[in-house]
Amino acid sequence: MRVMADSQTSAPRRGRNWPLILGFLMLGACWLGPLPAMSRTAFSAHMLLHLGVVALAAPLLAIGLARSGLRVDGMRHIGIWSIVVFAAEMLVVWGWHAPQLHEAAALNVWAFVAQQLSFLAVGLGVWLLGFASQSRRGLVAALFGFFLTFVHMTMLGVVLIMAPKLIYPAELCLGAFGFEQLEDQRFGGILMAAWSGVAYLGGAVVLGARLLSSTSTARL
């Protein structure tokens, strides 16, 4: 009887953890699909790969880990850690989109692996601060961090859109969807600006709603 009860209680737990499974499947689709090869010669494909890791796989993994019981707001100095995580995320994103590092990741497999793992690490760190926080202090820190992430990623997208000429070597912007070279770079910028708006600004709105809800509950 106890075995049956344990199996019955474990089934809902597995069902609740579907985001974790879906997150790993998304990572597999990103890294084992056609995008890594395409990203060597198409900037827009690189951007799809980047955003798939940080704005699709990472939040799903963070939700799954939070549902498994992981909490980050029990850490001491959560505000300082939040600043470190969001600053690291900005440095990683802007750093790997510098022309020299982007070219290195496109041409060298180890640089590419380092790029993708760093994208996943900082992306997961950002989303964990949002989904694995329950305290008011943790939610406030995550809210400001999500908004700043939205701002800096949108700024990078605008830089790529508005650039009058290629920022990256021409052989890395050959286009994968029928675009010319400059159009390929600009389309990557559009993806960055639009996707960051949906993901990170949307995340900030959700965190703000949670914060307001917790405040009103505390007053009651």
**Enclosing domain of residue 178:** 2-219
pTM: 0.87
DSSP 198: I
Tens of each residue's pLDDT in the chain, 220 residues = 444 444 444 555 556 789 999 999 999 999 999 999 999 999 999 999 999 999 999 999 999 998 888 777 766 777 788 889 999 999 999 999 999 999 999 999 999 999 999 999 999 999 998 887 777 887 888 888 899 999 999 999 999 999 999 999 999 988 777 788 999 999 999 999 999 888 998 888 888 888 887 665 444 3
User: C-alpha angle with apex 18: 15 to 20, nearest 5 degrees?
Assistant: 135
Task: Quick: pLDDT tens for 174-184.
Answer: 877 778 899 99
User: What is the SS3 assignment for 1?
Assistant: coil
User: What is the SS3 assignment for 207?
Assistant: helix
CB 190 within 8 A of CB 161: yes
Task: Quick: pLDDT tens for 60-106.
Answer: 999 999 888 877 776 677 778 888 999 999 999 999 999 999 999 99
Helix or strand run (H / E) with residue 5: helix 2-16
What average pLDDT does the structure give for the chain? Answer: 87
CA-closest candidate to residue 142, choices 71, 67, 65 = 71
Q: Rounded to an integer, what distance in angstroms lies between the CA atom of residue 90 and that of residue 50?
A: 14
Q: Rounded to an integer, what distance in angstroms lies between the CA atom of residue 105 and that of residue 28?
A: 19
Q: Rounded to an integer, what distance in angstroms lies between the CA atom of residue 190 and that of residue 107?
A: 24
Task: Give the chain's domain count.
Answer: 1
